[in-house]
Chains A and B, each alone.
Chain A
């Protein structure tokens, strides 16, 4: 069980879980799960463009996710089309454009499954370096943004009246989200990336009394799920990414039902 590819999968996956946990809490608190979904699915366009231009895929994905996040923020200012409709529209359009572009570039030997569900066992040393650098940057930004982001998540107008720069904070958050999504896509694919953000946070909520506790519990659940998911994957020869997500779901179920029984009157 100490194969190098397995160790890289474990390191990369747990690193991602650690970075995604605090961010995922804000995705849950700010009701941005579908925002994340739209950005993640747009990552497929980044993959296709990266393949076409033969450049580093994480770089091309990052550029596309940043562009799409920024566009979504701008599009959110119109009010003729509801924002959730807009997010669904972008997510589906991105999936369509991404799949078409990728199939044009790669032809019949296109392995779409790898892009949609990721390939955690294919993490290379270079990928690991990306995860490390991107992860440290993201974690630093998360700590820096923690207090203002928490304040505007509790009540935006109240925070703004007290001097928090709400606009800047929200923009920084969206760009940070794009960065973490770009890192995650390689590992769990465009369809499961958001699971890494919201599922550990959701599982941590019933056990938490403070926002910080929720982030820490989310990180623990995320990292344990990576380890258990990889073990499941190796033992039963199941796909890596989906096995991890299955474990995340199990943690959520285990956390939410006892709390529901406790609070029943």
Chain B
């Protein structure tokens, strides 16, 4: 299992606190659309409505086990939809169905014709036997020319990596480069499957801020997959909670109050919904993972 997974009940994050604070990423102060902005007169109302991609009644059965059952989901232009659920809930399976990689056993997927999709897959197990520069890797994603490639890399703060070999990159650098490849396709829909795996806490916040800013600038729709609750939701317009079926969905606050959500993530999880704040208010446990103060959850006993 993923050792980075933080227990929500150990991380109480108050709702709405600092939710309009501008954040810096690469020296650029940007507006991070808070979840609370979905309301009358908010940014969401001014975005072009219209479905980019939608799935109805999706069912996937593998080896007699139902991975997905009667799942409905849609992403509209300019909105950030966060798909959350525990490990093994079928999140990646649903993403693969939406992207057309996996044909579902039931249901159907509607895509806006000619929809441009940028995809950041969950795992990127790099094959070092393929010699590939960063520029070439980004170019492999589509018809983007040299200028568009450089621009996409600049946007994710990876311009200096252009001529480097992909096999020389660190995990965080590789993640940015994969995101740049998705951006270079000038996507109308950006799909990110747990993009923060293997990235440190600060890098995670930067990434979400960047995605929020790009969404505001370019107006693409975002489907973000996460098993991590308290950070992701801040920028989401809608949250879909998945555990083989859709448990609940709606704006972040309504999902947080939903009994199904509490049942799935524990009674304290709803308190965990809020914005990311990096105050270095956490200590680190023995494996170097961040731990909120005062937490005495199982397996995180202090050795002092």
Q: Show the binding face of A for B, using Cβ within 8 Å.
A: 28-29, 147, 150-151, 153-155, 157-162, 166, 205, 208-211, 213-214
Contact = CB atoms under 8 A, between A and B. Distances in A.
A214 B101 contact: no
A78 B127 CA distance: 25
11 contacts: A154-B132, A159-B140, A161-B121, A161-B191, A162-B117, A208-B131, A210-B131, A210-B133, A211-B130, A211-B131, A211-B132
Contacts of A208: 131
Contacts of B117: 161-162
A158 B182 CA distance: 10
Contacts of B127: 29, 153-154
A29 B165 CA distance: 16
B140 A161 contact: no
A208 B167 CA distance: 12
A157 B121 contact: yes
A34 to B, nearest CB: 15
A103 to B, nearest CB: 39
Given A161-B191, A162-B117, A209-B165, A214 B131 contact: yes
Interface residues of B, number: 24
Interface of B: 96, 99-101, 117, 119, 121, 124, 127, 129-133, 136-137, 140-142, 165, 178, 181, 185, 191
Chain A facing B: main interface SS: helix
Given A157-B119, A161-B101, 11 more contacts: A29-B127, A29-B129, A147-B140, A157-B99, A157-B101, A158-B178, A161-B99, A162-B119, A210-B131, A211-B136, A213-B131
Contacts of B178: 158
A28 B136 contact: no
Contact of A157 (B96, B165, B181): B96
Contacts of B133: 209-210
Contacts of B100: 160-161
A161 B116 CA distance: 10
Given A160-B101, A161-B99, A161-B191, A155 B121 contact: yes
Given A150-B140, A151-B140, A160 B130 contact: no
Contacts of B124: 155
Contacts of A29: 127, 129-130
B227 to A, nearest CB: 19
